[in-house]
Structure 1
């Protein structure tokens, strides 16, 4: 039996959130306030009333283009940061295809790796090397840690504001009841 392993395909595009228009995450993980891709204001793009003949305003850099413009200076800075991280992680070779030892001698074709080497490993040998690749992935994920912390902080801040508003409403209700009971006496 022949089994080949491939490295996961990396998307060549940079993800942009459709909610806050920032880069590196999607709207499913976003708790930031809405930013319009057309005018940069604090509302969802679907509710934008900007006329087509007026110039767009970027939500990221406030220049005269939509937030999805690939020439945006914020987009270019983010792309450069990602490319630097990729070049650091590419210092260690990771084969794209690993061939297992063939148990059936009649099926003896080999698959070439991208670096033109034929690597023959058993399944257990390939599974042992998974830990090394996982450590590389962890290093790449740490680069996005600051964005994740921003999201978590904003979610916490939103929760705290909501909680404080509810507490203030309850206190005001109690104050009104107390004052009205004192006025009646």
Structure 2
């Protein structure tokens, strides 16, 4: 059976050549996406901790999705949060990060943004290899980060409230600083209507 009945051998040859050229061009144009897709699982027994929600691996920088830890505006809290994540990673076998690990079952509402990258970092969910615990949930439950609604869909709100009530981690050091961070990161994302967010 001929692929293109009625076409001359020259026409079939031209169509085949065109297909090959288009395929090669398409692969070349998508090379960056293909490379990035291959890097969506990053693992290390000893990742470099940048701060309480950012980690460096040999093949990329990861922003732990769904949480926000204190930044440069709260230098003491930033250091304590970074130290806590470093200790947890050392104790629990490093980190394993991937686009497929997020705790979807914990979500209370839809996410409104799912950007794969921010500021050159891959937005990935991470687990500790030794116990398979969610890094995001652990950091929030221990009081070293807050729920970041735009990316979490409210997944860690209950853990955050409990940590705040118990003055766990950073909540016991600077309650007001953590409260303000939590309020900022709890806002309905720009461009999301209230109807988009499931209460």
The structure whose residues are more often strand, as a share, is 2
Report which of the two structures shows the higher radius of gyration computed on alpha carbons.
1
Which gives a bigger RCO, structure 1 or 2 (Cα 8 Å, sep 6+)? 2
TM, length-normalised to structure 1: 0.24
What is the TM-score normalised by the length of structure 2? 0.23
